[in-house]
Structure 1
Amino acid sequence: MGGPFENPELCAFLESLHCGELLSGTVAALEWFGVFVALDDGPDHPVFPGVGFITIPELSWRRVEAASEIVQVEQRVTCEFLQFDTWNAEARLSLRATQPDPFQSFADRTAVGQKLHGRVTKLVPFGAFVQVADGFEGLIHLRELAWTPVEAPENAVQVGDEVTVVVTGVNRERRKLVLSQRQAAHDY
């Protein structure tokens, strides 16, 4: 199988799984890179604390810094099976796939042209990120920060600034919100 583990029983179990299948188990260990899950069905893993593994982004729809924000050791979880990681001989799982995506309901009540209030959370070379609701951030591109061109976002805003923005785009597939401060400032 190409990976470091030769375990026919484990491989047969992993190969029998189907994408989208729900698997239940118990959180076995929290690591900085993800969460190991001991699955109810199937064999134990010869090396890892569990056959199931959830990467940090797959724990929640919101941004997560540490696994402990979402789950604890010995917690029961039901996850969606994503794929068989042949190198590590583990089942890649998603906890967030079993929950509704809050961005979609946010998008339902957010229209292009709508004014929102938010706080600048991060500056990047091409613009600024603004948190407009709990867990929802949008990007103001550099050219949309002010009516007069600015060379860097810090020339127009600072982290922590409260700003009024206009929604210029909502991308449901990529879960992205595009904002303009320039249009909000001159929208009389």
Structure 2
Amino acid sequence: MVGPIENPELWTFLKSLRHGEILSGAVAAIEPFGVFVALDDGPDHPVFPGVGFITVPELSWRRRGAASDVVQVGRRVSCAFLQFDTWNAEARLSLRATQPDPFQAFADQTVVGQAFHGQITELIPFGAFVQVADGIEGLVHLKDLARAPVASPEDAVHVGERITVAVTEIDRARRTLTLSRRQTPPRL
């Protein structure tokens, strides 16, 4: 831990930042757990490659993917400041907070009951995820995956298969989309 006594310049800088403030810098290192950013206006960090840090979920609105799919070392980024991580003495940042949320745009144009053709992206014990638009996935629960009951998702669908689903719920706060294959018209 880097404390205020060991590095007063770093702590003064981090304490001066305000939630939502936009900070710029260059990606200094990419790790499996996130990205270090060397901030333009910040001091060097005594331990880490940058004083800013973006966790993987804060890189993009997309649900999957590696950090290297979003940024590369040396790339310039502008991020929103989230909080001062006092344990690591770093600025927690969000790249996705500076971009429009595609889920909210999708929700603005979608109504419950609306049907979509989508592709199965993942099977889980209680259902399947279906991509219905670029970057937009919803969950089809096992009970809604087929017209007749099935014991597991593999009994009804497979990854990569294209199916028709209907929207049964849109939760803007949690950014979740619930879908049903059972509730679609037979000939859509």
TM-score normalised according to structure 2 size: 0.93
Whether contact under 8 Å (2:128, 2:141) holds in the other structure is yes
Partner of 1:174: 174
Asked if 1:56 is matched to 2:59, the reply is: no
> Contact conserved, 2:102 with 2:136, CA < 8 A, in 1?
no
Kindly indicate whether the alpha-carbon contact (under 8 Å) linking 2:165 and 2:183 is maintained by their aligned counterparts in 1: yes
What's the counterpart of residue 79 of structure 2? 79
Deviating beyond 2 angstroms after TM superposition, the runs of 4 or more aligned structure 1 residues are 3-6, 185-188
> Matched residues, percent identical?
70
Distance 1:154 1:72 in 2: 37
Tell me which amino acid in the other structure corresponds to 2:113.
G
Q: Secondary structure at the match of 2:184?
A: helix
Q: Indicate how the Cα distance of structure 1 residues 143 and 187 shifts in structure 2: closer, same or farther if over 3 A, else same.
A: farther
The AA in structure 1 aligned to 2:173 is E
Any conservation in 2 of the 1:56–1:64 contact (CA below 8 Å)?
no
Shift in Å at residue 147 of structure 1? 2.5
RMSD: 1.6
Secondary structure of 1:11 counterpart: helix
The residue number in structure 1 matching 2:121 is: 121
Unaligned runs of 5+ in 1: none
Number of equivalences: 186
Which segments of 5 or more consecutive residues in structure 2 lack a partner in the other structure? Answer: none
Deviation, 1:127, is 0.8
Equivalent residue runs for 1:1-188 within 5 Å: 3-5=1-3, 6-186=6-186
